[in-house]
Amino acid sequence: MYVCPNCGQNLKFDIARQMMHCDYCDTVMDPYAITEKRGVTEYVEPTYTEETGPDGETKVVSPNAEFTEAANVEMMEVTSYICPQCGGEIVGDTNEAMVFCSYCGASTPLNPRMTNMRRPEMIIPFSKTKQDCATSYVSLLKKALFAPKELKDPKQISGFRAIYMPYWLYDFKKQGPATYKGEHCYHRGNYDYTDHYSITTSVDMEYDGVNYDASSSFSDTLSQAISPYDTKYARPFTTAFMSGFYADTMDVSAEVYEKQAKKLVSDHAADILAANQKSSAYTIKKDTVSNSLTPITKNKTLAMMPVWFMSYQTRDKKGNPRVLYAVVNGQTGKTAADLPVDVKKFLIGSLILALPLFLIFNLILNIPPLYLAITGTVISLICLVSLTSQAGKIAEREMGADDAGQESVATNKKQRKEALKRRKAWEVKDVKRVNRPFYIIPIVICAFLLLLKPDYDYWYYAGVIISGICDCFMMTDIMRRYNKLVTRPLPQFNRKGGDDSAEELKHS
Ligand SMILES: [Zn+2]
Ligand SMILES: [Zn+2]
């Protein structure tokens, strides 16, 4: 806790002011003016060193000597809360009691404990207030027509919590020659000729602040959905920014995403190079360029990024608890949410849309009953295919395999193999569950109609109605399964608390 020099109350970081603020006496202070030594708050007037970058922009490099000294401390002591239900860990520098868990949505009071956490080097302070966050979220929901109305409940929206998420920032560089392949095809006489080139060029490229989340609890799908962060505005870390906020701890090592980040950078550079080469006579081979542009890592920096985080508990058809997340980028306001479909709302909506369509088609077109039956069957087939194709994706999500960070934490090589086996088994079972004999009925009916070609039109109409009913059931199933895909099973983290290096520190 940071003590207000004026009244002794708690100084918190105020997003709107971008300054430390005391709610009681209105004192405003620079975040870099405060340091804490052995629980005693000290105040130092910060002296800023500014550096002008190549783009002519000035950037604060180091706030003051006092601060730089603090930055050399690799570990810092924090108050952490571990959820008894899911094992999720959140660090909080607030005076309020923690009454719910952001990861599983459980509302049980969480007990604080002191722990060590690796000190981040940089931070992007929150610049979007809770009000901004609510506005972005509400406008996202406006577009989600079939979302359950509980998600729009103001009580839900007030559950957004400001959490600093740990991220790895990678700085990459490549200088010197790069060799790749190109070719030139032409036609002369009766022959096609291809000339192969080996092209060597000199590159000088630099990418700073390519970022990936370093918490296994924060889903990659969500962090990617609200990316990017503009790391140009990252500032040297000081704990003052965390006063009044929550944070997650780093538990994914920097190596996990390094390869992926390098690939992203070399692909991007290859695109630029390929675009520059368009006017020349030869075309270049994209993959060879990308490989030749693989950079070296200059820096790996641990940074804190602002995320407004909300979780919502729901239940599936069988009554098993599921959890949904909504997140808002605390710097840019970009919003992402798991948005399920309210099946009842969806069916009523489709019906309202289908009735006028049906009337219009019936008035304008005179479709022979046989074609109607065939159309019905085609729709059934499409439903069946999409039902089956969801299985793989759901299995990945259910087993946490779509998150490289989560996978890296939970498993060694042997465990990973077992997880893959489990996933495949789950998938096979799931496909079997989907292909209920019931769903074959429309196809069987259509086959009969085609084979027997009955004279009475009513047979066709009866067939169409029956397959229509089957389609409705399948649609409901597709929606239910879609909901399974956008919601998540309750998380189960097996985290030791803090990170591994913190454990080591305790033992030494
Ligand atoms: Zn005060
Ligand atoms: Zn929990």
Q: Give pLDDT tens digits for 268-284.
A: 988 888 877 765 677 77
Q: What is the pLDDT of residue 206?
A: 92
Tokens representing residue 497 in the block: 């608390």
Q: How far apart (Å, rounded) are the C-alpha atoms in residues 223 and 407?
A: 16
Q: What is the pLDDT of residue 100?
A: 83
Q: What is the pLDDT of residue 248?
A: 92
Q: How far apart (Å, rounded) are the C-alpha atoms in residues 222 and 489?
A: 15
378-416 pLDDT tens trace: 877 787 777 777 777 777 777 666 667 666 665 567 777
Q: Same structural domain for residues 287 and 199?
A: yes
* C-alpha 11 to ligand 1 mean position (Å): 7
Q: Which region among 38-42, 134-138, 435-439 has the lowest average model confidence (pLDDT)?
A: 38-42
Q: Same structural domain for residues 327 and 357?
A: no
- Helix (H/G/I), strand (E/B), else coil: 124: coil
Q: Same structural domain for residues 166 and 299?
A: yes
- pLDDT grade for 357, boundaries at 50, 70 and 90: confident
- Mean pLDDT of the 466-492 span: 80
92-134 pLDDT tens trace: 876 667 778 888 888 878 888 888 888 899 999 999 999 999 9
289-298 pLDDT tens trace: 888 888 999 9
Tokens representing residue 487 in the block: 């919601």
* C-alpha 337 to ligand 2 mean position (Å): 19
Q: Same structural domain for residues 430 and 445?
A: yes
In a domain, 85, yes or no: no
* C-alpha 256 to ligand 1 mean position (Å): 44
* C-alpha 23 to ligand 1 mean position (Å): 7
> Which ligand neighbours the alpha carbon of 102 most closely?
2
DSSP secondary structure letter of residue 223: H
> Which ligand neighbours the alpha carbon of 7 most closely?
1
* C-alpha 491 to ligand 2 mean position (Å): 7
- For residue 342, give the nearest of 107, 158, 152, 136 by alpha carbon: 152
* C-alpha 316 to ligand 2 mean position (Å): 18
> Which ligand neighbours the alpha carbon of 323 most closely?
2
Residue 457's Cβ-side half-sphere holds a number of Cα atoms within 13 Å equal to 5
* C-alpha 94 to ligand 1 mean position (Å): 16
Q: Is the pLDDT of residue 156 over 50?
A: yes
- For residue 305, give the nearest of 171, 63, 126 by alpha carbon: 126
Q: Same structural domain for residues 260 and 361?
A: no
Tokens representing residue 257 in the block: 């995403």
* C-alpha 86 to ligand 2 mean position (Å): 4
* C-alpha 108 to ligand 2 mean position (Å): 9
206-230 pLDDT tens trace: 998 898 999 888 888 889 899 889 9
| The one-letter amino acid at 371 | Y
* C-alpha 266 to ligand 2 mean position (Å): 39
> Which ligand neighbours the alpha carbon of 3 most closely?
1
- Mean pLDDT of the 337-362 span: 80
Tokens representing residue 203 in the block: 């590159």
Q: What is the pLDDT of residue 21?
A: 94
Q: Is the pLDDT of residue 40 over 70?
A: no
Q: Same structural domain for residues 293 and 351?
A: no
In a domain, 293, yes or no: yes
Q: Is the pLDDT of residue 286 over 80?
A: no
In a domain, 1, yes or no: no
Q: Is the pLDDT of residue 65 over 50?
A: no
- Mean pLDDT for the chain? 80
> Which ligand neighbours the alpha carbon of 108 most closely?
2
Q: Same structural domain for residues 457 and 387?
A: yes
Q: What is the pLDDT of residue 423?
A: 73
> Which ligand neighbours the alpha carbon of 87 most closely?
2
- Mean pLDDT of the 171-179 span: 90
* Residue 310 contacts residue 161 (beta carbons within 8 Å): yes
- For residue 80, give the nearest of 70, 90, 68, 69 by alpha carbon: 90
Q: Same structural domain for residues 347 and 437?
A: yes
301-341 pLDDT tens trace: 999 999 999 988 888 777 888 888 999 999 999 999 988 88
Q: Same structural domain for residues 174 and 301?
A: yes
Q: Same structural domain for residues 228 and 332?
A: yes
Number of domains in the chain: 2
In a domain, 135, yes or no: no
Q: Same structural domain for residues 334 and 477?
A: no
What percent of the chain stands above pLDDT 70?
82
In a domain, 111, yes or no: no
* C-alpha 21 to ligand 1 mean position (Å): 8
DSSP string for 107-161: --PPPEEEEEEEPPSEE----S-HHHHHHHHHHHHHH-TTS-GGGG-HHHHTT-E
Tokens representing residue 448 in the block: 């009969």
* C-alpha 36 to ligand 1 mean position (Å): 17
> Which ligand neighbours the alpha carbon of 8 most closely?
1
> Which ligand neighbours the alpha carbon of 321 most closely?
2
- pLDDT grade for 53, boundaries at 50, 70 and 90: low
Q: What is the pLDDT of residue 279?
A: 57
In a domain, 92, yes or no: no
- pLDDT grade for 497, boundaries at 50, 70 and 90: very low
The contacts of residue 452 (CB under 8 Å, 6+ apart) are: none
* C-alpha 348 to ligand 2 mean position (Å): 35
Q: What is the pLDDT of residue 56?
A: 64
> How many residues are there in the chain?
508
> Which ligand neighbours the alpha carbon of 6 most closely?
1
Q: What is the pLDDT of residue 353?
A: 78
Q: What is the pLDDT of residue 502?
A: 37
Q: In degrees to the nearest 10, what's the CA dihedral of 421, 422, 426, 432?
A: 40
The contacts of residue 46 (CB under 8 Å, 6+ apart) are: 30, 32, 33, 63, 64, 67
- For residue 108, give the nearest of 128, 125, 86, 93 by alpha carbon: 86
Q: Same structural domain for residues 279 and 394?
A: no
In a domain, 268, yes or no: yes
Domain boundaries, position 481 = 343-486
Q: How far apart (Å, rounded) are the C-alpha atoms in residues 87 and 79?
A: 15
- pLDDT grade for 505, boundaries at 50, 70 and 90: very low
* Residue 93 contacts residue 78 (beta carbons within 8 Å): yes
b/e 8-42 (16+ beta carbons within 10 angstroms → b): ebbbbbbbeeebbbbeeeebebbbbbbbbeeeebe
403-458 pLDDT tens trace: 676 666 655 677 777 777 777 777 777 766 666 677 778 778 878 887 887 778 78
DSSP secondary structure letter of residue 31: G
Considering Cα of 198, then 203, then 209, then 214, what sign does the dihedral take? positive
* C-alpha 72 to ligand 1 mean position (Å): 30
* C-alpha 27 to ligand 1 mean position (Å): 5
> Which ligand neighbours the alpha carbon of 26 most closely?
1
In a domain, 178, yes or no: yes
